[in-house]
Structure 1
Amino acid sequence: MRLIFAGTPAFSVMALDALVEAGHEIVAVYTQPDRPAGRGQKLSASPVAQRAATLGLPTFKPAKLRGNDAALDEMRALDAECMVVVAYGLILPQAVLDIPRRGCLNIHASLLPRWRGAAPIQRAVLAGDPQTGVTIMQMDAGLDTGPMLLLEALPIPADATSGDIHDALARLGARLIVQALDGIERNALPAQVQPAEGATYASKLTKEEARLDWSLPAAELLRRVHGYNPMPGAWCEWNGERIKLLRAALETGRDTGSSEPGSVLAADERGLSVATSQGVLRIIEMQRPGGRPSSPMAAYGQRPPLDQRLT
């Protein structure tokens, strides 16, 4: 097919590669404009833009599509059969949805109608969902409300972070979009209307919500540590520093006694044992300001401030 591809972050790159490898003609790639990045805040092209440049694909970076007549005319001139959208970051107005002859397909990282919206992977981990998945959806003017073409589930292991699930879903989405386009070409892929029951909204993540509250049970804190990894990163304060907690596990066989939530009960090569309102959370990987992810013992040179509570 003659395809337009629209995507921006690293999650989208694998799907772009899969479409090229499957022999589809990518007539244009749409992605977000270059943004400041890194400590120097220099303008940086999106991961999709960088990959498109490597592949020699024409790339467009409009700041908006709604009310942008020049961008719409440009898109119409491409004469695309279908548009594949994955984590693009811009709302597609109806005028764009109407341009490709076979419509616009979206690779959505959840089992719709659960977790429509901006952060489906993280919200699934935070909620303790036993599984997530990818839905290939025919886009309409609503927010992830279009009819479903393909859907495949993926279990969420207890020790998986959002980053782990992100990578697995990127691979799954890349495979399913190729399968979906093949079905569309053969007119063998009927669409199913999303059920109204079970719809939830995956709102954007904030740094404020990622601060850990040690008065919560250890099981809830575990989901937060893993759900906010890698972004925005679960965090707390310890010994006057704001630290990120990246990986953790529930610790059995240790009694918190009368220790206040946030108290450090022990530190060894297995991690940092922290009291919560219910149970003990073992911190396996963390990051100090300006440092790299490491074990707690490595981060503090074998001398963590055990007399200080995490707050």
Structure 2
Amino acid sequence: MFRLCVQGQKGLESLKGFHSVLGNKGIIVSIGKDANVVNDFSSEIQTYCESNEIKTFDKSMGLEAISYTVAVGWQRIINDVPMDSIIVMHDSILPRYRGFNPLVSALLNGDEQVGVTAIIAEETYDTGPIVAQEIADVSYPIKISNAIELVSGLYKSLSVKVANAIADGKLTTSVQDESKATYSLWRDNEDYFIDFSLSAEQIQRHVNSVGAPYMGAQAYLNDEHVFIDEVEVVEDVHIENRAIGKVIFLKDQIATIVCGKGLIKILSMRDSQGQAIRVNKFRSRFK
């Protein structure tokens, strides 16, 4: 019996993968929730379980029959089973991007590939032996919602691979190469704000990487707090007195902004109440 601790779209797709191999009698599901995203997929996971007669876990159930606990998108500590029986699904190509928000970090860095890794849990996060990986190419520009869709498909195929390996008694692991390890830090509200000293390409990746289902890229337009949803990289011009964040062109209330390198056009923007707004004054600065 597998216990699946799943949350989000990737959790749903992993559930589908394990279910396709093990059936509804081979799994029991714990459903996670996240108030910080627009849709945490908890209702979709619940519906999938009900539709396929898959049991959901509660504390009154015994854990004696559980052979493996699989954590996908899970944000809580699991301490009710032996650590070496926990398989963690992590959305990076480990050992790169151990830690938090690895997919966002990979997109911000413009990585050409993204991936998902299944590992055996250890006390130090994301250091455990690798069970299996799935990798896909990515091209830019790409929005985080599309990247999540891509990676969710990888979660499903990885779940099928892991479930089959365990069912067939052929689960093997490999030790991570510490010389290639990197870490991705936790992110908070300050990290949503755009740094206009970056290049236009980096700013576009930032806007695309923190949009829905997350809060969205943010800035101050003069003194107004705004959310920026869509931008376009514009060919640079020679600016004698380059001042990042200033409007250089304004046409039909669509502003082009000076970046550390290059120019960025603001195509879609909203105020703190979610109402669409435009730049209506040429002498405006974003910061």
Same-fold status (TM-score > 0.5)? yes
Q: CA RMSD in A?
A: 2.9
Number of the residue aligned with 1:241: 224
Deviation at residue 111 of structure 1 after TM alignment: 0.2
Which of 71, 80, 87 is residue 85 of structure 1 equivalent to?
A: 71
Deviation at residue 143 of structure 1 after TM alignment: 0.6
Pairing of 1:110-129 with structure 2 (within 5 A): 110-129=92-111
Pairing of 1:11-30 with structure 2 (within 5 A): 11-24=10-23, 25-30=25-30
* Alpha carbons of structure 1 residues 37 and 167: separation in structure 2 relative to 1, 3 Å: closer
8 Å CA contact 1:5, 1:26 repeated in 2: no
8 Å CA contact 1:247, 1:284 repeated in 2: yes
Deviation at residue 181 of structure 1 after TM alignment: 1.2
Deviation at residue 215 of structure 1 after TM alignment: 2.6
Deviation at residue 259 of structure 1 after TM alignment: 4.7
8 Å CA contact 1:250, 1:280 repeated in 2: yes
Once the two structures are superposed, residues 157-202 of structure 1 have per-residue CA deviations (whole angstroms, 9 ceiling, x without a partner) of: 2201333212210111111111221122223342111110121222
Q: Does 1:306 align with 2:276?
A: no
8 Å CA contact 2:71, 2:88 repeated in 1: yes
Q: In structure 2, what residue type is equivalent to 1:245?
A: I
Q: Does 1:162 align with 2:144?
A: yes
CA distance in 1, matches of 2:253, 2:117: 38
* 2:105 counterpart SS class: helix
8 Å CA contact 1:270, 1:284 repeated in 2: no
Pairing of 1:284-303 with structure 2 (within 5 A): 284-291=267-274, 299-300=277-278
CA distance in 1, matches of 2:209, 2:155: 20
> Structure 1 residues 139-148 or 250-259, which shifts more?
250-259
CA distance in 1, matches of 2:179, 2:259: 35
> TM-score with structure 1 length normalisation?
0.79
CA distance in 2, matches of 1:104, 1:58: 19
* 1:209 counterpart SS class: helix
Structure 1 moving runs of 4+ over 6 Å: none
Number of the residue aligned with 1:211: 193
CA distance in 2, matches of 1:193, 1:37: 34
> Structure 1 residues 172-181 or 259-268, which shifts more?
259-268
* 1:84 counterpart SS class: strand
* 1:192 counterpart SS class: coil
CA distance in 2, matches of 1:12, 1:183: 19
* 1:112 counterpart SS class: coil
Q: Does 1:130 align with 2:106?
A: no
Q: In structure 1, what residue type is equivalent to 2:55?
A: P
Deviation at residue 34 of structure 1 after TM alignment: 8.1
8 Å CA contact 2:12, 2:44 repeated in 1: no
CA distance in 2, matches of 1:307, 1:223: 26
* 1:74 counterpart SS class: coil
* Alpha carbons of structure 1 residues 140 and 203: separation in structure 2 relative to 1, 3 Å: same
Once the two structures are superposed, residues 215-238 of structure 1 have per-residue CA deviations (whole angstroms, 9 ceiling, x without a partner) of: 333233233222322324221111
Once the two structures are superposed, residues 9-43 of structure 1 have per-residue CA deviations (whole angstroms, 9 ceiling, x without a partner) of: 233112112322344335422234686998xxxxx
Higher relative contact order (CA 8 A, sep 6+): 2
Q: In structure 2, what residue type is equivalent to 1:288?
A: D
8 Å CA contact 1:150, 1:176 repeated in 2: yes
Q: In structure 1, what residue type is equivalent to 2:67?
A: E
* Alpha carbons of structure 1 residues 75 and 49: separation in structure 2 relative to 1, 3 Å: farther
Unaligned runs of 5+ in 1: 39-44, 62-70
> TM-score with structure 2 length normalisation?
0.84
Which of 275, 283, 286 is residue 266 of structure 2 equivalent to?
A: 283
